[in-house]
């Protein structure tokens, strides 16, 4: 925010230089960005009155003028300006004067006639042309005749160029500081002075009574709506002092009425609007939501498409303005306006921000409303605007004020503990010192107990909600530099990885040792990924966590499976003509269970290539399980997972719980991704695997007795799983089977259709004695008998 130091001094006594004052404000929490001294490059430039103008004897384009600069004798100046007349007051740079840009003026002779100075234009004085009336732009800067000037006055005093402009960086939680009064409050507590608030009194010189009816249809979006009426309005330029203050704040002067609304906004922080009563027509104001899809032309001439969530100011029949943002094209003040209505209202900050964003329309008004404005400010600002109308003789204020205020503002209080605040800051402020700081910030203090203060929060402090906010106020005003620095105290501990982090590292190391490369993808993904991998509509995978404010549709949800990310990366490799790829990712998936959100750790492996098949990937998964300590897991054929090829997919279960899935990706899914190779993927729930893993190593002595091996070839139906066979062998081993290894699966001409041949090597060993053929034969026969009885698996004869 740009602040004129000269203007600020009207509200609070400031004796420091602008830079020193700015540094003090920074230390109390109002950061000073820049300090600019106006007119510091100007010297020896004074006000002069043109007494006489004559033609130059030897140049048609020049004139010879006699000007009064406050001395006994007039000064002669030759100029080529066409816009000067006798009686005008103009700025004159005398001999030795300095102007912005390093220009120095000296007496000289122009076409044989002495010239003792130079009349100045706005550019030569460093005044931006965009703030200057047309007749002053092309030529000499003519001083306004309604002001009283004394020849010889310093032009910096007359034009307000002896000022300093300070730019403050304001945080979003302090909307009360986005005005001169707000900065004055901070300046007062910083310098230890009192705020000199404007003495606001309205005479109401018109004989008429206000007869405008106001109705609010949406109390949530408009908490308070106030209005005053002004008759006998005379539209003209506002006085120079007001224009200058608007200019220094970056606002272009327009006319006296519009300038008053902008001036009050800068002074009090309350945006206002002045309606031409001819446009209201029926003396009625209705604040209501817009009709979906209707259009509205704003003051800038742009047509805006409205939604039903936007709040409008209407007369009940037609729209007059976008609430809190901008008035309508026809509702504003015109050159022939004779009667106006001032609007001062409080609108919902979130709604203003949303409307402004949707329409792409951000104004000085909306930038203030969207951060929040106290409801009482509307009342103060309206009275101030009416006072300025009378002060500038811009019209006569009608008796009465409209104040539609459905839900009155209740005074806010908070209870704090000075002892606790002192302890957290590491200082010892007495109760009197504590209260003195808060009272300087306009809090009202009531002592509840020896260590409890009940504070009445000032109406303009919308950011105070808890004790921590009061701590911040005390700390910044007491002075952060006054709070002693102490060494951190406490026990230090060595930073080590958790057991789960070590576990994940082991899994990653194993995957890398198996020839896979690690990848990292985003956790927020597109919902289209679930469609591409053919997830059914009723699947739990579609119960996703949605982002409130996503960057776009492609990053609008948190992933519930890592398979789409894996396929994206594999497609990238295929598209780059990489012949074979093996990759893995250790990441998280998310589900919104009970609205609290659940985050699961997953391992996803993906492969394709000439020599890659289901068993290649299964071997890597087995190696990972072996290294990570998962034992007793089984693979069960899965035919209902639509992301995988039917008959080439298996669920991985352990202790009756699903811990993962492995298989070949469905051809239709591959087509969705544009992949023309067979792809194999496994997704494993690492959290579940970690819970069931057993990394305890049990050492056994070397066997004393020899082992005996028997090979068997079984003829079974296709649907029989090898896991079933292995379970029967172990259950009937009698403790003598040390291991059983599958070494062949055969289907061919010699095998009946629908059957397969499965060959095992069974190793027998006892820890107590040397086994005899009879010992093994009994146990071996028992195993074969149970295989045939339970699975109809018969010993293959050839």
Cβ(230)–Cβ(392) under 8 Å? no
Q: Cα 119–124–129 angle (5° rounding)? A: 115
Q: Is the dihedral of CA 414, 418, 421, 427 positive or negative?
A: positive
Q: In this structure, how many other beta carbons lie within 10 angstroms of the beta carbon of residue 410?
A: 6
Phi-psi region of 142 (alpha: psi -120 to 50; beta: other; left: phi over 0): beta
Pair of tokens at residue 672:
């969705």
C-alpha distance from residue 554 to each of 152, 205, 289, 574, 689 (Å): 70, 63, 33, 22, 31
Pair of tokens at residue 542:
């579609």
Q: What is the largest CA-CA distance in the chain?
A: 145
Q: Is 472 annotated as a binding residue?
A: yes
| d(C-alpha 258, C-alpha 340), whole Å | 11
| d(C-alpha 555, C-alpha 549), whole Å | 10
Helix (H), strand (E) at residue 470: helix 467-478
Q: Is 473 annotated as a binding residue?
A: yes
Angle between helix 467-478 and 418-425 (nearest 10): 60
The helix/strand count (H/E) of the chain reads as 22, 40
Which DSSP string do the residues of 759-774 spell out, in sequence order? Answer: EEEEEE--SSSPPPHH
Cβ(207)–Cβ(311) under 8 Å? no
Helix (H), strand (E) at residue 276: strand 273-276
Q: Is 390 annotated as a binding residue?
A: no
DSSP state of 293: T
Cβ(661)–Cβ(638) under 8 Å? yes
Helix (H), strand (E) at residue 90: strand 89-99
Cβ(87)–Cβ(45) under 8 Å? no
Ranges of H-type helices in 85-195: 134-137, 155-158, 180-191
Q: Cα 796–718–610 angle (5° rounding)? A: 105
| d(C-alpha 510, C-alpha 624), whole Å | 6
| d(C-alpha 771, C-alpha 737), whole Å | 12
Cβ(229)–Cβ(209) under 8 Å? no
Q: Is 469 annotated as a binding residue?
A: yes
Helix (H), strand (E) at residue 725: helix 722-731
| d(C-alpha 715, C-alpha 758), whole Å | 7
Helix (H), strand (E) at residue 499: helix 499-513
Provide the 3-class DSSP secondary structure of residue 251.
Answer: coil
| d(C-alpha 706, C-alpha 748), whole Å | 37
Nearest alpha-carbon partner for 128 in 32, 249, 4: 249
DSSP state of 728: H
C-alpha distance from residue 90 to each of 34, 44, 51, 81, 588 (Å): 31, 14, 11, 12, 74
| d(C-alpha 251, C-alpha 262), whole Å | 8
Non-local CB neighbours of 156 within 8 Å, separated by 6+ positions: 38, 39, 42, 45, 162
Cβ(558)–Cβ(547) under 8 Å? yes
Nearest alpha-carbon partner for 508 in 601, 372, 633: 601
Which DSSP string do the residues of 671-715 spell out, in sequence order? Answer: HHHT--S--EEEEEEHHHHHHH---PPPP-PPPSS--EEEEEEEE
Pair of tokens at residue 516:
């896979």
**Residue set of the binding site:** 463, 469, 472-473
**Residue set of the binding site for Mg(2+):** 463, 469, 472-473
């Amino acid at each position: 925010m740009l602040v004129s130091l000269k203007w600020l001094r009207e509200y609070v006594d400031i004796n420091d230089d602008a830079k020193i004052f700015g540094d003090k404000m920074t230390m109390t929490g109002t950061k000073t960005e820049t300090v600019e001294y106006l007119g510091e490059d100007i010297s020896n430039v004074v006000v002069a009155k043109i007494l006489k103008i004559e033609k130059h004897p030897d140049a048609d384009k020049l004139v010879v003028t006699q000007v009064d600069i406050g001395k006994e004798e007039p000064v002669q100046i030759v100029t080529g300006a066409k816009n000067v007349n006798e009686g005008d007051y103009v700025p004159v740079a005398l001999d030795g004067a300095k102007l912005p840009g390093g220009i120095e003026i000296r007496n000289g002779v122009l076409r044989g006639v002495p010239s003792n100075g130079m009349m100045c234009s706005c550019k030569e004085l460093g005044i931006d042309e965009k703030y200057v009336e047309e007749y002053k732009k092309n030529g000499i800067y003519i001083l306004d005749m309604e002001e009283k000037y004394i020849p010889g006055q310093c032009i910096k005093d007359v034009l307000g160029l002896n000022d300093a402009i300070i730019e403050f960086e304001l945080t979003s939680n302090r909307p009360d500081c986005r005005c001169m009064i707000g900065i004055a409050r901070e300046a007062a507590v910083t310098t230890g002075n009192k705020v000199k608030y404007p003495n606001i009194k309205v005479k109401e010189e018109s004989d008429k009574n206000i007869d405008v009816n106001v109705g609010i249809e949406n109390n949530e979006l408009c908490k308070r709506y106030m209005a005053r009426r002004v008759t006998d309005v005379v539209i003209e330029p506002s006085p120079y002092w007001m224009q200058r203050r608007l200019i220094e704040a970056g606002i272009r002067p327009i006319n006296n009425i519009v300038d008053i609304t902008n001036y009050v906004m800068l002074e009090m922080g309350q945006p206002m609007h002045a309606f031409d009563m001819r446009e209201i027509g029926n003396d009625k104001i209705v604040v209501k939501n817009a009709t979906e899809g209707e259009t509205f032309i704003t003051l800038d001439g742009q047509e805006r498409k409205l939604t039903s969530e936007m709040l409008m100011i209407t007369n009940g029949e037609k729209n007059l303005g976008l609430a809190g943002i901008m008035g309508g094209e026809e509702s504003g003040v015109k050159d022939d306006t004779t009667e106006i209505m001032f609007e001062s209202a409080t609108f919902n900050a979130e709604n203003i921000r949303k409307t402004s964003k949707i329409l792409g329309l951000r104004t000085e008004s909306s930038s203030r409303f969207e951060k929040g404005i106290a409801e009482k400010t509307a009342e103060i600002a309206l009275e101030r605007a009416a006072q300025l109308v009378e002060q500038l003789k811009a019209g006569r204020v009608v008796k009465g004020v409209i104040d539609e205020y459905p839900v009155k503002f209740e005074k806010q209080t908070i209870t704090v503990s000075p002892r606790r605040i002192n302890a957290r800051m590491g200082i010892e402020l007495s109760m009197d010192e504590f209260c003195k700081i808060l009272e300087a910030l306009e809090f009202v203090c009531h002592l509840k107990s020896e260590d409890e203060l009940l504070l009445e929060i000032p109406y303009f402090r919308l950011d105070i909600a808890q004790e921590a906010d009061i701590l911040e106020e005390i700390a910044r005003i007491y002075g952060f530099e006054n709070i002693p620095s102490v060494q951190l105290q406490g026990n230090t501990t060595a930073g080590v990885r958790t057991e789960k982090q070590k576990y994940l590292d082991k899994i990653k190391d194993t995957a890398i040792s198996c020839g896979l490369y690690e990848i990292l993808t985003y956790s927020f993904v597109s919902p289209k990924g679930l469609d591409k991998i053919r997830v059914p509509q009723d699947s739990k995978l579609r119960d996703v966590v949605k982002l409130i404010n996503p960057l776009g549709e492609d990053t609008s949800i948190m992933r519930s499976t890592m398979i789409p990310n894996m396929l994206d990366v594999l497609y990238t490799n295929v598209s780059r003509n990489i012949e074979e790829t093996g990759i893995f990712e250790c990441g998280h998936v998310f589900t919104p269970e009970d609205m609290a959100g659940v985050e699961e750790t997953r391992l996803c492996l993906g492969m394709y290539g000439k020599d890659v098949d289901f068993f290649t990937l299964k071997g890597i998964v087995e190696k990972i399980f072996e290294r990570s300590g998962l034992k007793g897991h089984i693979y069960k054929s899965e035919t209902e997972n639509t992301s995988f090829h039917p008959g080439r997919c298996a669920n991985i279960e352990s202790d009756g719980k699903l811990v993962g899935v492995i298989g070949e990706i469905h051809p239709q899914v591959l087509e969705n991704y544009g992949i023309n190779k067979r792809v194999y993927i496994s997704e494993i729930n690492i959290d579940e695997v970690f819970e069931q893993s057993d990394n305890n190593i049990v050492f056994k002595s070397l066997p004393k007795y020899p082992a005996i091996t028997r090979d068997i070839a079984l003829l079974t139906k296709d649907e029989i799983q090898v896991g079933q066979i292995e379970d029967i062998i172990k259950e009937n081993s009698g403790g003598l089977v040390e291991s059983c290894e599958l070494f062949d699966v055969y289907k061919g001409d010699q095998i009946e259709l629908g059957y397969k041949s499965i060959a095992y090597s069974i190793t027998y060993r006892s820890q107590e004695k040397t086994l005899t053929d009879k010992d093994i034969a009994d146990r071996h026969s028992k195993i074969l008998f149970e295989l045939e009885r339970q699975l109809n698996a018969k010993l293959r004869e050839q």
